[in-house]
């Protein structure tokens, strides 16, 4: 498959649009169950190679954000059996996959960060749903820091990255999705999600473009 940057428009020089003083790098769900070969998805036979590449780039962006003075915000799914919504459980049952909602259980180790480590002063959000804004104080924390722009990275492109990006737009944030610092488990789904986000609510950019802008 051709590179996403060959198919969709990307902002190669985001520059002042991602001013570190007003921008947060959002790291979505880089957790054992989603990104590690030892997690729930890895043990189920999913190819985790794309996740490893995305995490390599996210690590680079975290370093660039810290050096530039941008806020770094870590999102995590944190669940218990009693926190699973009736809608989630019913949907799983109706599609024939009951029990598949049991991921990132608190105390299982699967909810732990994978290869990324928050530092004091970072934002950390625990969530039950796909969007990092749903049922959390993420919006309040961003506004308290004067942030109006989000640089989106993480797993998976089609689920929690997509949901958080759309919700950010609805909360009046400017968003940039770093296409090569996101991953899912289906190339076509990754591409089509990025296309939909670009069409409706976000700009696309790359790790190199963001790192270079913040280095400048």
Q: For residue 105, give Cα distances in angstroms to 39, 108, 127.
A: 11, 5, 12
**List 51, 127, 162, 182, catalytic entry:** 127
CA distance 32 to 39: 5
Can you tell me the distance from the alpha carbon of 156 to that of 19, in angstroms, rounded to the nearest whole number? 26
Rg (CA), the chain: 16
Which residue out of 29, 33, 158, 167 is catalytically annotated? 29
104, 159, 160, 182: the catalytic one is 160
Please say if 127 is a catalytic residue: yes
Is 89 tagged catalytic? no
Strand partners, 151: 25, 176
Reported as type and span, the H/E element at residue 126 is strand 123-127
- Our answer to whether residue 195 is catalytic in this structure is no
Q: Which residues are catalytic?
A: 29, 127, 160
């Amino acid at each position: 498959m051709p590179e996403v940057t060959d198919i969709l428009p990307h902002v190669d020089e985001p520059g002042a649009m991602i001013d570190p003083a007003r921008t947060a790098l959002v790291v979505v769900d880089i957790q054992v169950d989603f990104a590690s070969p030892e997690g729930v998805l890895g043990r189920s036979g999913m190819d985790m190679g794309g996740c490893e590449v995305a995490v390599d780039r996210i690590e680079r962006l975290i370093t660039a954000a810290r050096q530039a003075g941008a806020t770094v915000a870590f999102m995590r799914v944190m669940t218990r059996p009693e926190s699973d919504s009736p809608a989630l459980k019913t949907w799983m049952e109706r599609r024939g996959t009951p029990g598949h909602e049991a991921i990132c259980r608190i105390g299982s180790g699967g909810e732990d960060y994978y290869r990324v480590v928050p530092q004091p002063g970072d934002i950390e959000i625990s969530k039950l749903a796909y969007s990092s804004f749903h049922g959390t104080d993420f919006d309040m924390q961003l506004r308290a820091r004067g942030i109006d722009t989000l640089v989106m990275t993480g797993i998976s492109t089609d689920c929690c990255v997509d949901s958080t990006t759309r919700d950010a737009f609805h909360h009046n944030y400017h968003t940039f999705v770093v296409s090569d610092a996101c991953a899912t488990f289906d190339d076509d789904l990754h591409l089509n999600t990025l296309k939909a986000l670009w069409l409706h609510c976000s700009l696309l950019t790359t790790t190199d473009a963001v790192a270079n802008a913040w280095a400048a």
